[in-house]
Amino acid sequence: MSLANLVPHGGGPAWRWLIERVWRLEHAFERSRAAAKPEDDTSIRIFFVLALFGCAFMVLAVGATWAAVFSNAGKNGGYLAAMEGARGDLTDREGKLLAVDLTHYALYIDPKEVWDAKATRAALGKALPQVPAKRLDKAIFGDRRTFLLGGLDPAQKDAIFNLGLPGVEFEEQARRVYPLGVSAAHFVGFVDGGGKGLAGAEGALNDDIHAAAAKGEGAAPIALSIDLRVQAALEDELRKAALEFGPRGAVGIVTNVHTGEILGLASYPDFDPNDPGKASDDAKLNRAAASVYEMGSTFKAFTVAIGLDTGVATPSSTFDAREPYKLGYRTIHDYHASRKILTLVEVFQHSSNIGTARLAEGVGAQRLSQYYNNLGLTKPAKVELRESARPLTPKKWDEDAVASTSFGHGMNVSPLALARAFGPLLNGGTMPPLTIRKLAPGVRPEGPRVLSEETSQQMLQIMRANVTGGSGKTADVKGLSVGGKTGTGEKYDPSIRGYNHQRQVSSFAAVFPTEGPLEADRYFVLILLDEPHGTAKTFGFSTGGWVATPAAGRVIDRIAPFLGVQRRNELIIAGAQPKATTPGAGL
């Protein structure tokens, strides 16, 4: 057969070149045997084998180079970024790390690779006491590769690897780590074993966090709205109040009233998001967003603002609080009756249920319910958090509903909804949404106007008057012109079919500074304790003025420097230490 006959149909010069070289090589072998020179024959064959290996390695090298340079491998910032469930970093507004993916390891056992099953069982049983014996036996003496344990950090992995046990294998895995532990746990949230956000910012921004990881190592972290300095002070003072008064739970919130940014959010009790499985559902409950309460007298701020905005009243309008107010089948009393005619400012300072109910009656059911709706009190708080709870509102807006809601009964809202609703009272009358994202400096989101600027300015003055001469005296921090409103909502008890005077929701809603133009930086602070207990220091009282107001004042005193709020010298000089509140005051 000729060389030409070996060329495939349509073959080109490459095929001809290859076959010609093979033909020549074979004839070289024949010539060596004919000349009786076996050493030449062997040398040629060795050369041929080496040439084949050389070609194979060349192909592998070219393939590896192609994959490294032209393929998509490694373009997502390394192995962790490409792993399923990988998440981007979370930071506070100052860039301090809140959540990060770190390399951990999963431990597998391949029984087919185990040399000495009994020795392996003994060594791993000693090294991994947390693994149940039955699970370890099944993995080592089984018939297939089995996952044994996940979440090993590099030091733990090395300790097991150094045992030198055949059949013990490791695979890298991304694990979510929260370096600050319990701090800001309810705000930041946590993830499941597959890297899916379940709560807090982790749940609310889940898709964005995954997308950040997909961008690779150079991707910017997602900056959240909180300031860890503010958060630390808030958590510390809330915990101190909780330990002193022993409530079922407690909430602390700090917001920027112009931007809606949540600068601090605390829920007590707390938990460690690094190991949420060990925490109870009660500890993981975000009471700021997912719980609703009858807020009591903090609602009087809304009623007064609505009365001013509708023109039903002015700060100097008077209301007769000399006798209990009969409305239909019910009679409304004041907790600590002043039994006199009160101006609107005095109604607020004395936290008069009678005066507030009379004001609400003048506003009317239709207008009052519409303002509540405009203030966001009839729907879940507008914020990214999935936990934001739906309020409980009256089914019918009759005169009883008007009177009850005017002083914070008959309507349950979340602390975050309350915080958002206070915004228009303090920022000039608009309703920006709350947000857990850091906004760019100078950005103030637009929101619908719900109150006039004049009403907002009047409310700042009235809330300030309540701290200087009303139930909020213990929050009067020198130089910071604090304003606020106490609140004590009694809980409805089905067992007695009425309100239980021993079970209260006690709070203080504060603003600072009240001085300055409406567009000036301004911050809202809420402290709430659910079913606190009075102490000897509070004469047994557990109302908002006794248990929540002092804590709010301490928070404001500590966070003002972090927020750039300067103390005014004239307020420091003119101000005196808050006078002791009389027993029973501070609704």
Q: Show which residues are catalytic.
A: 297
**Interacting residues of 558 by C-beta distance below 8 A, sequence separation 6+:** 233, 237
Strand partners, 486: 508
Q: Are strands 222-223 and 146-152 parallel, antiparallel or unpaired?
A: unpaired
Question: Closest Cα to residue 262, out of 512, 389, 140, 438?
Answer: 438
Residues 6 or more apart from 278 whose CB is under 8 A from it?
A: 271, 272
What's CA 246's distance to the chain center, in Å? 25
**C-alpha–C-alpha distance, residues 307 and 421, integer Å:** 16
Q: In angstroms, rounded to a whole number, what is the distance separating the alpha carbons of residues 320 and 347?
A: 10
Q: What is the CA radius of gyration of the chain?
A: 36
Q: How far apart are CA 433 and CA 259, in angstroms?
A: 8
Rounded to 10 degrees, the C-alpha dihedral 21/27/31/34 comes to 160
Closest by CA to 408, choosing from 326, 495, 298, is 298
CA distance 407 to 304: 10
- Is residue 585 within 8 Å of 474, Cβ to Cβ? no
Phi (first) and psi of residue 301, to 5 degrees: -65, -40
d(CA 411, CA 189): 28
